[in-house]
Amino acid sequence: MGKHIIIAPVGGESDTIFLGIKEFPTERVVLIAEPDHLREAESIKADLERFKIPTRVERVKGPIWEELFRIVHDITEHTPKETEVIINVASGRGITNCAATSAAFVNGVKAFGMTDEGQIMVLPVLKFSYYKLLSDRKMKLLMLLGEPDCCSSLENLSQRAKMSLSLVSYHINGNLKSEGLKQLGLVETKDVGGRIHVELTTLGKLLLNGYV
């Protein structure tokens, strides 16, 4: 069995971090810590380094979903093929564990949790690419929506994209045969003063940043 880089959020069941390194030959550990859990992360790092396991603490500097996807993407992009990345989806608090599980699935990374009996449970590796579902026009709309000054309304987006209003509406809302950006969870719409306002969801922002 090859070596692993274990990514583990901090702030929940820290014992699972130590159970994980017993189960998987570990090259190094990356602890993901929000500001409230930095002291705990540094304590865990000190304990792991007593066992000669190199450990790095990644501080979360923004929304946990965006930060966790960014960190997972950066690590997987710079990890040699002979080393496997695995994510502990049981060591953090509830919402962090959800974000870690989603990041694993989207990036096709192995993950493990814990059973009620305290046993390691390896999750199936899934790989889902949104890019295969996005036409050039859908990507253009996403990129426009990612610009700071866009967009006050569906009409404004239509003008910026140089597409007809009906075509923009189709790419946003989809139809029975084709999912739109809204159904894919990449944008959300709301009525503002009688006009339809469109904005990126967190997932949409992650995709534009290349983390999905």
Predicted structure pTM score: 0.71
Phi-psi domain of 118 (left: phi exceeds 0; alpha: psi -120 through 50; beta: other)? left
Report pLDDT for 43: 95
Residue type, 48: L
48: exposed, middle or buried (Cβ count in 10 Å: 0-12, 13-18, 19+):
buried
Q: How many percent of the chain have pLDDT more than 70?
A: 95
Q: CA-based Rg of the chain, rounded to a whole angstrom? A: 20
Q: Does an H or E element contain 67, and which? A: helix 64-77
Fold annotation for 130-208: Arc Repressor Mutant, subunit A (1.10.10)
Fold annotation for 4-123: Rossmann fold (3.40.50)
Per-residue pLDDT at 28 exceeds 90 = yes
Cβ of 137: how many Cβ atoms within 10 Å? 14
pLDDT band at 44, cuts 50/70/90? very high
Pairwise pLDDT comparison (116 vs 146), residue with the higher score:
146
Residue type, 166: S
pLDDT band at 212, cuts 50/70/90? low
Measured in whole angstroms, how far is the alpha carbon of residue 106 from the centre of its chain?
7
Report pLDDT for 106: 80
Query: Can you say whether the dihedral through the CA atoms of 101, 123, 53, 79 is positive or negative?
Result: negative
Per-residue pLDDT at 93 exceeds 90 = no
Cβ of 78: how many Cβ atoms within 10 Å? 8
- The whole-number average pLDDT for the span 78-105 is 89
- The whole-number average pLDDT for the span 45-68 is 92
Tokens of 82: 């002979």
Distance CA 197, CA 126 (A): 33
- The whole-number average pLDDT for the span 52-69 is 91
Distance CA 49, CA 32 (A): 16
Per-residue pLDDT at 103 exceeds 80 = yes
Backbone angles phi, psi at 15, to 5 degrees: -60, -30
How far are the Cα atoms of 10, 46, 67, 73, 104 from residue 211, in angstroms, in the given order?
Answer: 21, 30, 10, 6, 11
Report pLDDT for 125: 73
Give 108-134 pLDDT, tens digit per residue: 888 999 888 888 888 877 666 666 778
Domains of the chain, residue spans: 4-123, 130-208
Tokens of 210: 């290349």
